[in-house]
Structure 1
Amino acid sequence: MTREILSASLKALAAEIEGIAKRDRYLLFMAPSAAEIPEIDGDGASENDRGVAYLMRSERAAALQKRRNLKDMRGRLEKIGAAMAEDKVAWEAERGTYESVVRILGSLERSAEPAAVAVTVATAEPEQETETDVRAFKPSTLLSVAGRAILDARKAAVNPDDKDATRYEERLETAFAAFLEIVGDKPLTYYLPIHMQDFATFLARVPKNRSKIAIFKGLTLRQIVEKNAALPLDQREPCLAETTIASYLSEVKNIWSRVAGSVPGLKDMGAYRVTLPKNTAASIDREPIAVPSLNIWLKDAATPKLMKKPHKAWLPLAGLLTGMRLAELIYLQGSDIVNVEGNEVIDLTRPLLMGGQMIDRPVKTKTSKRYVAIHPLLNEVGFIEYAKGVKSPDGFVFGHFHRADDPPDAAQKQMSNWMNALDIHETQRQVFHSLRHSAKDWFRDHVGERLADKQCGHAFSGVSANYGAKLLKPKEVRKIMAMPAPEGVDFSAFTFGRR
């Protein structure tokens, strides 16, 4: 054994000691912490909870034992290195030390666990440490932790001014919180596809609009379900419909698919076919408002009593003749009525002027930013003149509703109460939004599907339909302006009052 070999052996020992330190840090990171292991004291823990806790404790105990072995090995190697360094003075001492090292390392290899790497004195190479993202979740990670990372990453990518994106983000948050409460916040390995069925079965008993019902304020979902079930049958609040439950399931599957993408071995909950409970409320499709009901509504709106509240009286007529959503009407400003290439239109591509600052207009979808053709009837009955001349803070045509915290919601409630008073309201079927369905039929019948979509701000269907101008062209505006009045609708109360 030469002096060069001895020097190389000392370097190899130093590298192996550093490798042991790295493996120790890796074990520390990968082993479940005591806080991650679920409590199973008492009789409330399920058999599955106990099994998960047992596996996590076993994994933690094994990791701790490996760390103790590594610590012991490191100490003995450090002693060997110190001995070799001290005996470098003489050749005989160096050879004797080397032979001693070989004997000790032989005993170490026989006693260490297979997971510990054997030391090769002259040729050992340091193990490269793999850098790990803190979001490299393990099967023992709680769903709340892994799911939170997914939601936070999405939130960071979303433009805060993109209302459509933030609304979807809120739905994700709501669905995720509901799943954690109903199924439970467990390690990722706990979840099975059948938990999606458990989730859906429970949701079918959850009252809709629960956040707006006083008796449910401050209660958990389970408490809300129990309280609603305890009410007399005729006083119980209606529960979530099929489409809402399907939406919750879709959002949770979306989050789970992203979590499972980075943790091998998790169950596929997305493919599970959920069976909705027999008594789940069927989804109700809104319908165009019946012409007799519409005539009752317009006649009442044109009365002198109602016209003293123009913010209320003009809404049904404006909704019918423009096809605009209620929220779009509520955020309409007089300055939005502009001349584009010789045609007067409502320009919903413009930002809003509020408090002296320009802000992005709140819209439901990207296609909602559009031109809306102004039918001559809107001028004939006096709405356009009213809209241009209204005096209100920030120039909102329906500024009265902006005194409320949620202007569209305040308008929706007032319209609903008004329709109920006239006995023309039918839950979800005949509502203010039904005017938009009536308008869509009117536009479709006279100018076709594409112009009806442009006027109402609906997305085009298919690749071919998405080619061409997205905003109404001057010729298309004139086509809409030339349409005959909606068949059977009586505007005489407005036109007579105008005369």
Structure 2
Amino acid sequence: MHNLVKNQNNIYTYRRTVQTHSIRVSLLTKDKLEALQLVEHINTTLDLVYPLKKHEAVKIVHATLHKFQPIFHKQRIAKVQQYLGLDLSQGTGELLSYVVEKYIDEKLRTKAWAEKTYLGYKVIYNNLITLLKDKCFRNIGAVDAQQVKNALQKLPSNLNKKAEYRDKPINRILKMDIPVAHLMSIKTINTMLGCYSELFKWAIKNGYASTNVFDGMLLKDSRKARDLRSPFNPSDLKRIFSDSVIRNPHKNWQKWLPVLGLYTGARLNELCQFQKKDIAKVEGYWCISITDSGSSQILKSVSSKRVIPIHKKLIELGFIDYVNSTGTAQNNMIFPDLKLLNERYSHTPSRWFSNIKNRVIDDSDRKSFHSFRHTFVDYLYNKLKLQGNPLVKALLGHSDSEITSGVYGSSFEIEDLNKIIQSLDFDAYGIST
């Protein structure tokens, strides 16, 4: 049929000439019979309103596909279920896989997800489909949600990457004795459960469900946040700052991010998104402003907005001179080489530092760039005995801080913050000029 062509991936495409213009629309199927039936429906619809303009024809083609593709999808699923001997009496209505497909399609169509985000979510939702055996969406209840929650706690992290789990079906993995160290973290499990809850919220709005069975299913994490990642010990710091990659950086951010993390206790993305306006004198002291005032700047929470005096070591190393070299525009990025990805600038530095710490630190599993923040906190708490001090909470941007951003501008408060920062002493760890 002249309206039907196949691309290099064996997917059929509808082709037709409309008033000297050629239109091509993917039919999203490799099944020739299904493609022929879709072409017949499309041609019948177009012929009813012919002649028409190209953009009108394209609209009609998409509308026709939107109407008939779900029907073919159900037929394909039914054939597969019948072939595999699955229970087809579980109820009528859309299958889980169909609703997931529609949900993902909307996210992509509205550009709510970037490509990498989509790939990550696709794995998460494929796991749900497998765990629930692609049952009828309306028949998924609280018992099913609890079973999913229980199963996730028995599954290893990165099961599609680790060789010992990669080629095994989930049902088989669930019967294995997985080492505790291999299991998914509470944070990862809660991320997945949160995704499933978002799916059901969308499904309710779009008429596929009446109840969010994953609402309130998150695991309670009794661990304190500081216990989830370990601080660097003296040996770690010496190894990190004596590493050739750190001492001979190829990019400016490679030189500055580790020492900034150590002497400010700031989170990685907070440092990566610095603009020139964020480094300035406040009441006579050089300070860094952690803020979301820039168009691409984000913060973890409202309390994360804060001011941190700059340690004399950073000034000695030339940080202020470097900032001044980045141009005159106040919205200039301090580290212009870093690219925004999924609303963050920290993607590349995180991977870069992870490679370094995995190479130079023996017990690296519970350590990351965030360990600089824990090292900063440990020094203030253990060396300076400042645990519970509201000024320390202000430096960290903690939600229970008794000092709000409105205080900054008081020379007394900035002076006290500066005294704490200048008390930090990491000279013994090989941080060179």
Aligned position for 1:44: 84
Aligned position for 1:194: 143
Change (3 A) 1:449 1:316: same
Q: Displacement of 1:337 after TM fit?
A: 0.8
Q: Displacement of 1:361 after TM fit?
A: 1.3
| 1:451 has 2:391 as partner | yes
Look up the SS of the partner of 2:89 in the other structure.
helix
Correspondence list, 1:424-463, <5 A: 426-427=364-365, 429-443=366-380, 445-446=385-386, 448-460=388-400
Look up the SS of the partner of 1:345 in the other structure.
strand
Change (3 A) 1:201 1:294: same
Which has the larger Rg? 1
Give percent identity, aligned residues only.
Answer: 20
Q: Given the alignment, which residue of 288, 292, 316 partners 1:346?
A: 288
Q: Given the alignment, which residue of 377, 390, 413 partners 2:351?
A: 413
Correspondence list, 1:2-401, <5 A: 39=78, 42=82, 44-47=84-87, 49-52=88-91, 56=92, 140-143=93-96, 175-176=124-125, 178-200=127-149, 202-203=151-152, 208-209=157-158, 238-253=182-197, 255-256=199-200, 269-270=213-214, 285-298=228-241, 300=242, 305-306=247-248, 310-349=252-291, 351-352=293-294, 359-390=295-326, 395-401=332-338
Counterpart CA distance in 1 for 2:394 and 2:417 is 11
Look up the SS of the partner of 1:289 in the other structure.
coil
Q: Displacement of 1:329 after TM fit?
A: 1.9
Q: Is the 8 A contact 2:203 2:209 kept in 1?
A: no
Instruction: Structure 2: give runs of 5+ residues left out of the alignment.
Output: 1-70, 221-225
Change (3 A) 1:492 1:411: closer
Task: Give the letter for the 1:372 counterpart.
Answer: I
Q: Displacement of 1:34 after TM fit?
A: 10
Change (3 A) 1:266 1:46: farther
| 1:423 has 2:423 as partner | no
Counterpart CA distance in 2 for 1:296 and 1:479 is 32
Q: Displacement of 1:391 after TM fit?
A: 7.1
Q: Is the 8 A contact 2:276 2:332 kept in 1?
A: yes
Q: Is the 8 A contact 1:337 1:388 kept in 2?
A: no
Q: Is the 8 A contact 2:305 2:405 kept in 1?
A: no
Cα deviations by residue, 1:296-316 (Å, 9 ceiling, x for unpaired): 433x16999536765323322
Task: Give the letter for the 1:413 counterpart.
Answer: R
Task: Give the letter for the 2:377 counterpart.
Answer: K
Counterpart CA distance in 2 for 1:34 and 1:312 is 53
Look up the SS of the partner of 2:361 in the other structure.
coil
Q: Is the 8 A contact 1:301 1:314 kept in 2?
A: no
Counterpart CA distance in 1 for 2:301 and 2:110 is 18
Change (3 A) 1:222 1:285: same
Look up the SS of the partner of 1:293 in the other structure.
helix
Q: Is the 8 A contact 2:265 2:373 kept in 1?
A: yes
TM-score, length basis structure 1 = 0.52
Counterpart CA distance in 1 for 2:355 and 2:340 is 18
Q: Displacement of 1:488 after TM fit?
A: 6.5
Task: Give the letter for the 2:263 counterpart.
Answer: L
Instruction: Structure 1: give runs of 5+ residues left out of the alignment.
Output: 1-32, 57-139, 277-282, 353-358
TM-score, length basis structure 2 = 0.58
